[in-house]
Amino acid sequence: MPDYSEYVFIYDKEGNEYACPMNSLKGQVVKTDKLTDEEKQKCQNMGEIVGTERI
């Protein structure tokens, strides 16, 4: 089971939630539009994992 205390949860403009490992982020990020391409690749869309993606 993942240790959620090691993840940062951030949101895009549509309100979708992404889980990103803290050690993969270069700064304090709260929105996906502030992520670098490298950081985005390490994040998971929580809507895809649990099937609650907003439409």
Domain boundaries, the chain: 4-50
Is the confidence at residue 55, as pLDDT, over 70?
A: no
Residue 42: C-alpha distances to residues 25, 37, 55 (Å): 9, 9, 23
- Report, in angstroms and rounded to the nearest whole number, the Rg of the chain calculated over CA atoms: 11
**Residues, the chain:** 55
Q: What's the pLDDT score for residue 10?
A: 85
**Predicted TM-score (pTM) of this structure:** 0.67
Half-sphere exposure of 23 (CA within 13 A, CB side): 4
Is the confidence at residue 21, as pLDDT, over 60?
A: yes
52 or 7: which leads in pLDDT:
7
Q: What's the pLDDT score for residue 49?
A: 76
Is the confidence at residue 50, as pLDDT, over 70?
A: no
Scanning 1-55, the segments in alpha helix (DSSP H) are 37-41, 46-50
